[in-house]
Structure 1
Amino acid sequence: MKKLCILIIAIGSSLYGQMLPREYFHKQISKTAIEQIKADSIHSYDALHYEITMEIDPQEKFISGNVMANLCSKENGLSQVSYELVGLNVDSVFVDAIPANFVQDSLLITIDLNSTYDIGEEFTTQVYYSGYPILSSDGYACGMHFDNAIWTYADPNGARYWWPCYDHPWDKTTTKMIVTVPDSLVVASNGLLIETIDNGDGTVTYNWQENSQIATYLVSLAIYEYVEINQTFNDTIPIQSFVYPSHYDWAVNDFQNVPLMMQIYSDLYGDYPHEKYGMAECAVFGGNGAMEHQTITSLGHNLIDGQQGGEMIITHELAHQWFGDCLTPLTWKDVWLSEGFAVYSEALYVEGKDGFAAFTNYVKTSIHDYYKNWAGGSVYRIYDPPYHQYFYPYEYEKAASVLQMLRFMLGDENFFLALKDYFQTYKHSNVVTSDFQGIVQQYSTENLDYFFDEWIYGYGLPNFQT
């Protein structure tokens, strides 16, 4: 096992590193129930847009609604399509507004199209469904949670637990979310709020529209008796956050640096890629973690303390809006392109806010030393982790350490030019490791095959010396 030594500056103990346990940055998984649920079907169509209409009964924990999907055939003679749906019952299906036959099993709904469609031909399906949502039994607890607030979590493959869709990250779409709830509640979701309708019967309907391409695992709902905190970035991008009324004053203080974070990342990577940003407070990961839902991060309620104690998780999730949400790994083999970049962005925020010495200290103590202590004498490969290890430290802190090595090799100018080029080249699309390697290779005088073979595809362990 090779080791690459990088000289960095150490300046005493890390203030940032002591704020929160690093475990709070990782998506948590129960180790008592690990299984992967896959759809055994060929993806023969491209989903273009989902319109999700839903009524939620918080007391009964019951949902009913329909999903209208705009699809485009990717093969000639397409006669069936399948969606993932688990634990909910399909009532009826329409294709181009005409009733259609379907078969539902425990994992899939398979729809017989009323005619055949050739490559490039577009059509719609509309699936009416209802039931009591369950959570996934694979350790990730994906689905719709009915806690103090109602909130959803679908990472890695859990949208299927609350709405029917082709639930894989490589088919990104636009979405519209139309949700009806009791009128005491507020609904936060992806994109821009188009309208709010008082139905005059004790319910209210929220209409949210996401105009950027989004993966199904990033589609989100958060519902509570929220109050809003409104900020702006560059006088053009709304920052619309939703918090518990009792946490409002704390949150105002804790969120004050979000525009600065957005500025630092925009300068480093390219302009903020979405129409809105914001956060919604909920009990995600027991209130101690967060999830980078596109334009509306779910933020654990224990991270709002009025003292900016959750600042590094807030900036981590924001960085995902560039890497993970806008540039989405094609499959979970390349999850490091999301999590490793977000961890390294934490350090870049520290550098932009407090200088290079603070940055190097953060890299050493909060990233590299944490990883070495966690790994002990074991070695792990970043590329293609097992299903239950998608969000382990080698996809987070080890991957971030590898990015620091790459910066050291290329030099600051070339490294950050490569990051901007990578972001602009693959904006709003899916990426794999070879895409990133291909871009950075253009900024290196060395052939980088050995670097990626050792540190991404192999088991090499970075070693920082001070």
Structure 2
Amino acid sequence: MRIKLSIVRCLVAVLLQGMFTFTQAQVAGCQAGKNALLLPPLYYNADNLRSDTFDILKYTINLEIGNATTKLIAGNTIVKFAPKMNNRTFIRLDLLKLIIDSVTENSNQLLYSYNDTILKVNFSAPKNLTDTSSIKVYYKGQPQGDASGWGGFYFDNNGGNQYAYNLGVGFAAKPHNYGRVWFPCFDNFVERSKYEFNITSDTARRAYCNGQLTSDVVNGLNRTRQWTMNNEIPTYLASVSVARYRQVNWSVNTLTGPKPIVLAGAATDTTGMKNGFVNLKTCINGFENYYGPYKWNRFGYCLVPFSSGAMEHATNISYPKIAIGNLLYEADLMAHELSHHWWGDNITCETPEDMWINEGMATYSQYMFTEWKYGKVNYNSAVKTSHDNLLHFLHLKEGGFRAISGIPHSLTYGDHVYKKGADVAHTLRGYMGDTAFFNAIKYTMLQNQYKSINSLQLRDLMQTASGQNLTDFFNNWVLAGGWPHFAIDSVKYVTVGTASVNAIVSLKQKTFGAPALYSNVPLEISFFKNDWSRVVRKVLMSGASATFTVNIPYSASYAALNYDSKISDATSSDSKVIKTATNINWILGKVYTQVTNKGADSSRVRIIHNYVKPDPFKSNPQNHRLSDQQYWDVEGILSPGFHSKITFYYDGNKSLGGTYSYLDTLLAKINGDSIRVFYRANAAADWQLVKHCVVVNSGLRNGFIVVDTMKLGQYTFGNSTDTATINSVKRNANVYRSAKLYPNPAKTSFKVEFEQLPAPGSVMTITDVSGKIVLSKAITEKLNSVEVGSFSKGTYLVKLEERGRILYSEKILVE
């Protein structure tokens, strides 16, 4: 399922306070996958208990579905079941606020009670283990939507097409499963059943459901279409969509042979569907490569007039018609929903507390589609951009540093589940290596197909497949919140022979919101020569500090930790090759450089923004106070003669949308007048107040400091009353402090509005995540419109400059 951010923010406004604690089961690293499935449930869920009493074998749903005027359904559902215990005298089914006419078994009336939520049916005689029975529930009424606006049943005459459709979860519902709004069922994540749908409508409309169309009969003014789903699915994945649909038929070669692709939409939407799904076959091939064979009989997308996301109903994805024809949505919607046929539809989280298995892995699959179609560079860009946003704002938005497993009901569809779940999946790939990671996923899909799963069972299956012990990973990254932080403390080189050098590397670990230091984290150390070639060595890091000796073929000019960002720790970084004198916005590094001399040759520079406090002063006679929230590493190989200014931005404002907000709430608690920049060359040196800089106070608590000469080493902010070494302190006009940028996110255009006319010579530049300038224009008006319809989807930085001085900057998301 994919949802709009605005909906998520609404739903998580009321947060559960405090962190979750629970006992973590310990199992052997080589425990067999079959035994792993015998673990008790990780989280108690009363809704799952009925599935210990009865096995629901099949639902046969026979309904006449009305239109946007009547908004009614009427018919019956046959529930076929088998007891798991002897002497069962009744069964309880979920059914929400519909009118029950009768309940029968073999045409005999059964006694029942119904309170608008639970239907209790009394058997005429006790049911035992050897029995297989069917009851038929006759009902009618107006099916419910969810209080949040997301989920349930919808009627809509959009475009005169008389849509009637369901979305199988309700964000505000408890439980979230929402099969009960249109048929009586066991509405939980663990009960899986087969389905038959016999859906009747007027002849102008056609019904689409899960599985295979087995008949389409017109009888007078009515059309009845029968769909059969022989793969067992949970109730929330059961689907019906009725409208004046037309069908686009494609076929794709899969690992198990050719399979049909069914795209259903209104006649006016079919061209847009063809254009918007042009890369669907490529996506299918990619996911089969990563996750193994597609287990279902067909691929299906059904357009609905719902603008806040999509729903992964098995083989019949409900897809927002507003998004068709736009490739900007192909990763976030098309690929995300398709991937659920592995993550969510094939294997399903046992309880909503483990929703990251469904939604985190589907979000990660967006990145995997990007890599498959557009390459590893674009994959890394997407992962790193999301990771930076999570480090910056996630704990502020969702009430603390939470584990992705054990998430509270109010945050089931929040960013810990979707985005951090994906971030953790990326890190698990970095832990295991590509071959072991994807082979373990394929093994898990095979061993656990059409079954529910929890985090510990996922751990054990992946351990069994790979032979790797993943207990520490799941304890640290899945069952606990926050992040670790790793840094190089020192590197020494000792020559031991021809082309043989021992590199002695000391590492240290801090935490960002995590309850404890992490153990056995595989970290890559890259050793660069002056020609930028490198060798990579891997070490296992535990504890606050550790020293490793690795053999390399030369004394390196530069050593970098986690250069390829395979482990998502509490850092965000940009790496660039600088070939010309130019201005660069380091979006992930959160600085701005003005290269005035590129030097004799090109330079390789990496800037790391660290979301932890820097090391303390070794000696601090002037009683300076360092930031407890961030510091920077500037590292790399600089060409002789290279010179650049570097600008650091501070912001003590508490705004969830600001580029630098919340990062300096300690130092700029009242105002930013005393904020200064401190520097040290390495961990062995002490922090020194930076001389030759310009301090610009943009607002009461925000501004920036321009350092005249960028050096390799570490920088941080601190409070100091020493102004003797400051070149100048400037307070910029309200022209940029009060600027408004809207709408944000933007689809086709946005506006930047200044309270006063910017000074002559002011230029607006827009840069992408790589720092590339995609637009530059002179600003001569207070209200400025910018067209972004041709921009690639992603995050951009909008900047107003006057003679090299940055007056305003803000991020914008282009959708």
TM-score using structure 1 length: 0.89
Aligned to 2:154: 145
Q: 1:140 to 1:457 in 2, by over 3 A?
A: farther
Residue identity in the other structure for 1:151: Y
Q: 1:373 to 1:120 in 2, by over 3 A?
A: farther
Matching residue within 205, 211, 232 for 2:230: 211
Say if 2:427 is the partner of 1:418: no
Deviation at 1:171, TM superposition (A): 0.5
Aligned to 1:311: 330
In structure 1, how many angstroms separate the alpha carbons of the residues matched to 2:326 and 2:131?
Answer: 54
Question: Any residues of structure 2 matched to 1:280-295 within 5 Å, and which?
Answer: 280-284=302-306, 287-295=307-315
Deviation at 1:413, TM superposition (A): 1.0
Which secondary structure does the structure 2 equivalent of 1:278 belong to? Answer: strand
Deviation at 1:123, TM superposition (A): 0.6
Q: 1:27 to 1:207 in 2, by over 3 A?
A: farther
Alignment RMSD, CA only?
Answer: 2.4
Say if 2:384 is the partner of 1:368: no
Residue identity in the other structure for 1:123: S
Matching residue within 55, 62, 71 for 1:53: 62
Gapped regions of structure 2 (runs ≥ 5): 17-44, 170-175, 484-567, 574-815
Q: Are the equivalent residues in 1 in contact too, given 2:440–2:466 (CA < 8 A)?
A: no
Say if 2:293 is the partner of 1:274: no
Which secondary structure does the structure 2 equivalent of 1:346 belong to? Answer: helix
Residue identity in the other structure for 1:110: K
Q: 1:183 to 1:320 in 2, by over 3 A?
A: same
Aligned to 1:227: 246
Aligned to 2:472: 450
Once the two structures are superposed, what CA deviation does each residue of 1:208-253 show, in whole Å capped at 9, x if it has no partner? 1111111100111111111111111216211101112222211111
Deviation at 1:41, TM superposition (A): 7.5
Deviation at 1:323, TM superposition (A): 0.7
In structure 2, how many angstroms separate the alpha carbons of the residues matched to 1:71 and 1:268?
Answer: 36
Deviation at 1:359, TM superposition (A): 1.4
In structure 2, how many angstroms separate the alpha carbons of the residues matched to 1:232 and 1:171?
Answer: 31
Aligned to 2:588: none
Matching residue within 402, 424, 447 for 1:380: 402
Say if 2:354 is the partner of 1:334: yes
Once the two structures are superposed, what CA deviation does each residue of 1:139-196 show, in whole Å capped at 9, x if it has no partner? 3643211123211012122111111111111110010111101111121111111111
Residue identity in the other structure for 1:98: N
In structure 2, how many angstroms separate the alpha carbons of the residues matched to 1:47 and 1:161?
Answer: 18
Q: 1:257 to 1:26 in 2, by over 3 A?
A: farther
Matching residue within 187, 190, 199 for 1:170: 190
Aligned to 1:17: none
In structure 2, how many angstroms separate the alpha carbons of the residues matched to 1:133 and 1:445?
Answer: 49
Q: 1:392 to 1:120 in 2, by over 3 A?
A: farther
Q: 1:333 to 1:101 in 2, by over 3 A?
A: same
In structure 1, how many angstroms separate the alpha carbons of the residues matched to 2:84 and 2:70?
Answer: 41
Q: Are the equivalent residues in 2 in contact too, given 1:26–1:393 (CA < 8 A)?
A: no
In structure 2, how many angstroms separate the alpha carbons of the residues matched to 1:34 and 1:77?
Answer: 43
Aligned to 1:91: 101
Once the two structures are superposed, what CA deviation does each residue of 1:281-329 show, in whole Å capped at 9, x if it has no partner? 1123xx241111111111112111x232221110000000111001111
Aligned to 1:11: none
Say if 2:416 is the partner of 1:394: yes
Deviation at 1:374, TM superposition (A): 3.9
In structure 2, how many angstroms separate the alpha carbons of the residues matched to 1:328 and 1:216?
Answer: 12
In structure 2, how many angstroms separate the alpha carbons of the residues matched to 1:190 and 1:420?
Answer: 24
More helix per residue: 1
Matching residue within 123, 127, 130 for 1:113: 123
Q: 1:444 to 1:457 in 2, by over 3 A?
A: same
Once the two structures are superposed, what CA deviation does each residue of 1:4-44 show, in whole Å capped at 9, x if it has no partner? xxxxxxxxxxxxxxxxx984698786568999x98697442
Deviation at 1:271, TM superposition (A): 0.7
Residue identity in the other structure for 2:65: I
In structure 2, how many angstroms separate the alpha carbons of the residues matched to 1:346 and 1:361?
Answer: 12
Residue identity in the other structure for 1:173: S
Q: 1:133 to 1:265 in 2, by over 3 A?
A: same
Q: Are the equivalent residues in 1 in contact too, given 2:48–2:188 (CA < 8 A)?
A: no
Residue identity in the other structure for 1:54: L
Say if 2:161 is the partner of 1:157: no
Once the two structures are superposed, what CA deviation does each residue of 1:362-403 show, in whole Å capped at 9, x if it has no partner? 2112x3234334415431221122212111011011011111
Residue identity in the other structure for 1:50: Y
Which secondary structure does the structure 2 equivalent of 1:237 belong to? Answer: strand
Residue identity in the other structure for 2:230: N
Greater length-normalized contact order (CA 8 Å, ≥ 6 residues apart): 1
In structure 2, how many angstroms separate the alpha carbons of the residues matched to 1:431 and 1:77?
Answer: 30
Q: Are the equivalent residues in 1 in contact too, given 2:237–2:312 (CA < 8 A)?
A: yes
Task: Please identify, of 116-125 and 397-406, the stretch whose mean Cα deviation from structure 2 is larger.
Answer: 116-125
Question: Any residues of structure 2 matched to 1:182-201 within 5 Å, and which?
Answer: 182-200=202-220
Residue identity in the other structure for 2:422: A
Aligned residues: 439
In structure 2, how many angstroms separate the alpha carbons of the residues matched to 1:32 and 1:128?
Answer: 39
More strand per residue: 2
In structure 2, how many angstroms separate the alpha carbons of the residues matched to 1:358 and 1:39?
Answer: 42
Q: 1:353 to 1:39 in 2, by over 3 A?
A: closer
Aligned to 2:318: 298
TM-score using structure 2 length: 0.52
Which secondary structure does the structure 1 equivalent of 2:474 belong to? Answer: helix
Residue identity in the other structure for 1:116: P
Q: 1:26 to 1:315 in 2, by over 3 A?
A: farther
Q: 1:297 to 1:122 in 2, by over 3 A?
A: same
Which secondary structure does the structure 1 equivalent of 2:214 belong to? Answer: strand
Which secondary structure does the structure 1 equivalent of 2:229 belong to? Answer: strand
Residue identity in the other structure for 1:424: L
In structure 2, how many angstroms separate the alpha carbons of the residues matched to 1:25 and 1:254?
Answer: 24
**Who wins on radius of gyration, i.e. which is larger?**
2
Which secondary structure does the structure 1 equivalent of 2:230 belong to? Answer: strand
Aligned to 2:90: 80
Q: Are the equivalent residues in 2 in contact too, given 1:243–1:280 (CA < 8 A)?
A: yes
Q: 1:51 to 1:307 in 2, by over 3 A?
A: same
Q: 1:232 to 1:446 in 2, by over 3 A?
A: closer
Say if 2:458 is the partner of 1:439: no
Say if 2:416 is the partner of 1:407: no
Q: Are the equivalent residues in 2 in contact too, given 1:41–1:82 (CA < 8 A)?
A: no
